Homo-oligomer: A and B are copies of this chain.
Amino acid sequence: MTDATHRLVQRIGRIFSLNEDERHALATVPIIMHTFASHQDIVQEGDQPGQCCLIVAGWACRYRILQHGGRQILSFHIPGDLPNIHGLHLPVTDHSLAAVTTVTVGFVSHAQIHDLIAEHPRLGSAFWKDTLIDAAIYRERIVGMGRKEALPRIAHFFCEVFLRMQAVDLTTQHSCSLPITQTEMSDALGLSSVHVSRVLRDLRHQEFIALDHRTLTILDWSRLMALAEFNPTYLHQDISVPT
């Protein structure tokens, strides 16, 4: 199994119990690999792609640019994510997708996915569920941006990132990679980068987290979760929060 199919099976297998047939079907889907340098666009707003992306290595993000130069990052995507599978049914992309780090992407054509689903209808449900979890993550972001101050908002972001990384085996103990700048974080959370810098200082001083060299370490899960009002239900996976 290649890296790419491994990621795909791991991801879908985690949110949906697959039988041997389905697993095999997924593992043999043709995937075309491509690498993008950081800041490169993978898909642009207005595009009508004929394929879905699978993030195999590195981070990507969906974003939108506003008239006066503002940027809103809609989501970050980590290995195993299918950041534009909605393209299967929404022909015109309403936001751009860019590489955050150097990113390895696998492309799977829509036709192939349609065939896969036609032959294994339960896989259709699995992909659908994947997009539903994506939407649940949006909801959680809305709650944070609408009704939480910067400190809990950022704390919540760290909880989420860590658990998502854990689900794809990219954590060690209480640490994981967080390969984004403070500006990217601020554009994702609706803050200024200056304020993010100050809030991070507080989170460090109060020993909730450590964050250096793009590595996030969660020092005190229970306090961080309480601060963030974090409840992992919305990720809709069997996740155990580290203690």
A-to-B contact residues, CB < 8 Å: 46, 62, 64, 66-67, 70-72, 74, 86, 89-90, 92, 94-95, 117-118, 121, 124-125, 128-129, 131-136, 138-143, 145-148, 187-190, 229, 233-234, 236
Q: Which residue of B lies closest to A15 (CB)?
A: B89
Q: How far is the CB of A115 from chain B (nearest CB, A)?
A: 12
Chain B min CB distance to A58 (Å): 22
CB of A134 within 8 A of CB of B135, answer: yes
B233 lies within 8 A of A92 (CB)? yes
Asked, given contacts A89-B129, A94-B136, A135-B138, whether A145 binds B229 with beta carbons under 8 Å apart, the answer is no
Given the contacts A92-B233, A121-B121, A129-B90, A190 and B145 also touching, CB distance less than 8 Å: yes
- Whether A142 and B145, one on each chain, are in contact in the complex, defined by CB atoms closer than 8 angstroms, is yes
A-B contact pairs, 6 of them (CB 8 A): A64-B143, A86-B132, A92-B233, A131-B132, A134-B135, A135-B138
